[in-house]
Structure 1
Amino acid sequence: MPVWLIPIAYMLISLICAIVLPRLEHALAPSFDLGISVSSALAALSAIASGMMALTGIVFSVAFVMLQFSAITYSPRFATRFARDPLLFHALGIFFATFTYSLAATAWVDREGSGMVPTVSWFIAIMLLSLSLLIFTLLVRRLADLQIGNTLRFVGDRGREVIAETFAAAGTSLAAQTPTGADAAEAPPTQTLRFDGSPHYVDRIDTAALVELARRAGGRIVMDCAVGDMVTGGMVLLRVHGGTAPLPEPALRRAIGFGLERTFEQDPKYPIRMLVDIAIKALSPAINDPTTAVQALDQIEDLLRRLALQGLDVGRVRDAGGTLRLVFPTPDWEDYLSLAFDEIRMFGITSIQVLRRLRAALLGLEELLGEHERATPVRRYLEHIDAAIDHSALDEVDRGAARQEDPQGLGLTR
């Protein structure tokens, strides 16, 4: 269910309860009375109903502060974490329910001059008020997630999840990669599928569905777009090569998920992109916080260590018989290195702390990879950083300090 429907659902349920429960209480237990006076009940219910409006305004204020703070301090892309937070919408829903139920319950106090108070409904309104205050406390507690350590850990955790899911589904690893035989020559394209609509991002590819479609037709599907790409009207999404008959376009379109912005789903690049955004914003002259960049590099190094041990060629998918049925673009090891380090190196070239942490991360990756061919790009990148240090504005003493790798940035020279 879309999160914006949550408050509406709460309000509708509370309206139904406010109509049904007082009627049942009035019909089944008209003499049930705990001695609450009519004036006290009206005052309490009116205070709850009016107070909920003020509390709802406070909740919106807190939500806007969270969104603005995360967008300015970290990255505009990070603001969606709070904009889609279910806790925010559940809080609004409970506040709406409390307001609606309390307001409706006032209609049954001293109904037709009976002097009766709907005691059960009165207690339900009090319980909803208590629940609202508890939810508000949890919402304020969520502000702790804006701390830089929690923010970076959240992005890192999402990155670790998507890496595990992406490569576990493909069943590949660096140690378990097995060479495959030569694939049949790619036949000329027999069908081209183009995007039709307003600009969207590709956020998901249903590989199983595409492989099955290609298998049935005896052909091969080659994607022109990758997860994370923006597609605009008329752009080629995929081409079908070979096959005995054209594939149904509606089925092909359903196998490609589109969204208005990039998501973590099937995209190991995106968490690295967000961590890099946080790091380079921290390195901007307006903020000038290299320690935050170092903390972002801690998470980036962990993600790269996990990627280094994976078989990254997951963009060639075969059917059960071993025939290549689907090809789509995926980043290679050098793409990941460039995404993770290029911009941080460029913006952090005057920060000794950042340069030392960069070298420590690269040396750690080189040690992890050993004699594997992926260690060669890492060594080249180390040489690139050393050359950048040599041509930087740092003096000779600072250049020597910057060449000393340090996992803390500035902490222990090893």
Structure 2
Amino acid sequence: MSNRFLTLWDNARTGLWLVPSVLIVIGTGLAIAMLQVDAGYGSEDQVRAWWINSGSGEDARNLLSTLLSSIITMASMAFSVTVVALTLAANSYGSRLIRIFRADLRTQVVLGTFAMTIVYCLIVLRSVHGDAPTAEVPHVSVTVGTVLALICVLALLVFIQGVARLIVADEVVRRVRRELDDTVTNLAPRCEATPEHSPSDLPEDFDEKAERIVLPYEGYVQAVDYDEMVAWAERHDAILRLDFRAGDFIVNGDRRVLVYPPTGRPQKTREEIGEFIVSGDERTPTQDLEFAIRHLVEIAVRALSPGINDPFTATVVIDRLRGALSRAMGRSLPPETLRDGSGRVRIYRQVSTYEGLLDAAFHQIRQSGSTHPAVLIHLLEAIARIAEHTHLDEQRRALMRHARLARAAAERDVGEPEDRHDVELSYRRAIRACESAARTASEHPSPGSSASHPSGTSLSQSPEPISNP
């Protein structure tokens, strides 16, 4: 249930309607409250502060009408600027990154402030009669409307300043990186987690006898309620294997849930298990570890396209990826198996791996930047820096593999010998960094590292001899 709620919350916070709707309700309540205050304010002869509105009903109506038309004009300008900013962002950084702009709290608050002020002024305006004497005019309500209008002016200035920063490439990368950091932070530290790879103890006749359940929905898997699914498997004394993970696209009719032993009632099982799977038209970062990585990669790939040709943005993306991946090396990824309270394995599932995270981060950038030596060199330097944060041979082998791929790309697509030589030097530094991290890990093994287990594989088998350029 919590994952379903997180998915709904992500959809709400990345929309432009939630905060404005709340502020509209606040504006309505404020207008009613101020009119009630004015209703019991006192007689006409009561002395008011200098900043409280004074004048006849006609004066108040003229003021509110002027404020209302001005605020509507400012709101139209703000909405127009928002649409233009979203258009520029979609063209430069990809349409999928619009969710980052929609999730900007400052934009939502400014648009909501305009909407709240418009609703407030409309409600107060309809309560002011043009021929009303001064004593019957809601002076406090009109004064509050004037204050809200001044706040709207300041909000417009803040909004324009924010939009001017929002479309800068470095700011876009920073915002996407922040979402990636939140995802990495939610992972458990290595010392508190179980090993990533649990031994497979599926029954020998699992594939033959397991009941394949048809998935009831089509779309991207946004979240899976594993706790409820484990409880269901425990109640039915069953073992489940999920041949998908959050972020995968499923089609109505896919048989990617296997139940052992068969329940004998596939339709009912389908309905019950379907309640634990949240799917939708878009991927979300709720359980998808590669979601924000792909958004950062999309920025770099577009920057390296021939139409834009901006390798500097690509290097900024590599820097942000290096920071997030370095932190991820010290975190434990979700385990492949889930157990019930008695310790029995109930669910086998597909999960993200360190190799998969690195593949999602580096493959497309290397492929798009294979003709840019600066990008390849920066990528190799990032690999060398990430190696300093590794704890597992699995992590270091994946880094060395990407280092070899980057060198191969340079040998294939970089024409200048000196540039290839610089790439080769960066490659050697990356390999040495991985080997040095492996030696450090073997001398000072950390909890959960392969060096602390007799069955761990040796890193020395992976690197290939380095030839002189």
TM value normalised by structure 1: 0.85
Question: Given that residues 63 and 82 in structure 1 are in contact (C-alpha distance below 8 angstroms), is that contact kept between their aligned partners in structure 2?
Answer: no
TM-fit CA distance, 1:295: 0.9
Asked if 1:385 is matched to 2:398, the reply is: no
- What SS class does the counterpart of residue 326 from structure 1 fall into? strand
Residue in 1 aligned with 2:444? Answer: none
Match of 1:314 among 335, 338, 359: 335
Amino acid at match of 1:354: V
In structure 2, distance between residues paired with 1:384 and 1:164: 29
| Partner SS, residue 211 of structure 2 | strand
- What is the DSSP-based 3-state SS (H/G/I as helix, E as strand, rest coil) of the residue aligned with 2:182? helix
- Cα distance, 1:220 vs structure 2: 1.4
Whole-angstrom CA distance in 1 between matches of 2:239 and 2:191: 18
Shift of 1:314: 1.9
Please report how far the alpha carbon of residue 393 of structure 1 lies from its aligned counterpart in structure 2 after TM superposition: 4.0
Which range moves more in the overlay, 98-107 or 200-209? 98-107
Do the aligned partners of 1:366 and 1:379 also contact (CA within 8 Å) in 2? Answer: no
Residues 152-206 of structure 1 deviation map (CA, whole Å, 9 limit, x = unaligned): 2222222122123144599537xx669668455464223514223xx42111111
1:137 is matched with 157
Report the alpha carbon displacement of residue 13 of structure 1 after superposing the two structures with TM.
Answer: 4.9
Q: Which piece of structure 1 moves more, 239-248 or 47-56?
A: 239-248
Cα distance, 1:354 vs structure 2: 0.5
3-state SS of the aligned residue for 1:225?
Answer: coil
Matches of 2:316 and 2:74 in 1, distance apart?
A: 36
Range 266-275 or range 184-193, more displaced: 184-193
Letter in 2 for 1:331: S
Farther-moved stretch of structure 1 (74-83 vs 141-150): 141-150
With over 3 angstroms needed to count, the CA separation of the structure-2 counterparts of 1:98 and 1:33, relative to structure 1, is farther
Distance 2:301 2:119 in 1: 47
Note if contact 2:190-2:331 (Cα within 8 Å) is conserved in structure 1.
no
Identity among equivalent pairs (%): 24
Aligned to 1:351: 372
1:226 aligns with 2:226: no
The change in CA–CA distance for 1:236 and 1:20 in structure 2 (over 3 A counts) is same
Per the TM alignment, residue 292 of structure 1 is displaced from its structure 2 partner at its CA by 0.9
Deviations 1:304-336 (A, max 9, x none): 223334444623211222211112212333322
2:325 alignment partner in structure 1? 304
Q: TM-score, normalised by structure 2?
A: 0.76
After TM superposition, give the deviation of residue 234 of structure 1 in Å: 1.9
Out of 213, 216, 223, the position equivalent to 1:204 is 223
After TM superposition, the structure 1 stretch with the greater mean CA deviation from structure 2, 225-234 or 293-302, is 225-234
Specify the alignment match of 1:118 in structure 2: 138
Q: Deviations over 1:123-162 (max 9, x none)?
A: 1111221332343333233322333333222222221221
Deviation of the 1:53 alpha carbon:
0.9
**Aligned partners of 2:132, 2:390: CA distance in 1, in Å?**
84
Q: In the alignment, which residue of structure 1 is the partner of 2:111?
A: 92
Larger mean CA deviation between 104-113 and 159-168 belongs to 104-113
Q: Work out which of the residue numbers 163, 181, 190 in structure 1 matches 2:211.
A: 190
Where do residues 225-374 of structure 1 align in structure 2 (5 Å cutoff)?
Answer: 225-242=244-261, 248-312=269-333, 314-369=335-390, 372-374=393-395
Stretch deviating more after TM superposition (124-133 or 300-309): 300-309
| Distance in structure 2 (CA, Å) of the matches to 1:282 and 1:68 | 17
Q: Does 2:35 align with 1:22?
A: yes
The CA distance in 2 between the partners of 1:249 and 1:168, in whole Å, is: 35
Cα separation, 1, equivalents of 2:392 and 2:120: 69
Q: Whole-Å Cα distance in 1 between the matches of residues 222 and 197 of structure 2?
A: 29
**Which residue identity is paired with 2:66?**
A
* One of 20, 44, 55 as aligned partner of 1:7: 20
Structure 2: runs of 5+ lacking an equivalent: 1-8, 428-469
Q: Secondary structure at the match of 1:314?
A: coil
Deviation (angstroms), 1:351: 1.0
Alignment-derived partner of residue 396 in structure 1: 417
Bigger shift: residues 74-83 or 244-253 = 244-253
Preserved contact between residue 327 and residue 389 of structure 2 (Cα < 8 Å): no
Q: Distance in 2 between matches of 1:14 and 1:48?
A: 15
The Cα of 1:263 is off from its aligned counterpart by: 1.5
Q: 1:6 to 1:164 in 2, by over 3 A?
A: closer
Number of equivalent positions: 402
Gaps of 5+ in 1: 407-414
Tell me by how many angstroms 1:214 deviates: 0.8
* Amino acid corresponding to residue 241 of structure 1 in structure 2: Y
Question: How far apart are the structure 2 equivalents of 1:290 and 1:335?
Answer: 24
Q: Following the alignment from structure 1 to structure 2, what is the Cα–Cα distance between the partners of residues 322 and 121?
A: 65
1:411 paired residue number: none
Give me the whole-angstrom Cα distance separating, in 1, the residues matched to 2:74 and 2:412.
Answer: 57
CA distance in 1, matches of 2:426, 2:170: 22
Corresponding residue number in structure 2 for 1:409 = none
2:150 counterpart letter in structure 1:
S
Q: In structure 1, what is the equivalent of residue 55 of structure 2?
A: 37
Q: CA separation of 1:90/1:180 partners in 2, compared to 1, >3 Å: closer, same or farther?
A: same
Per-residue deviation at 1:61? 1.3
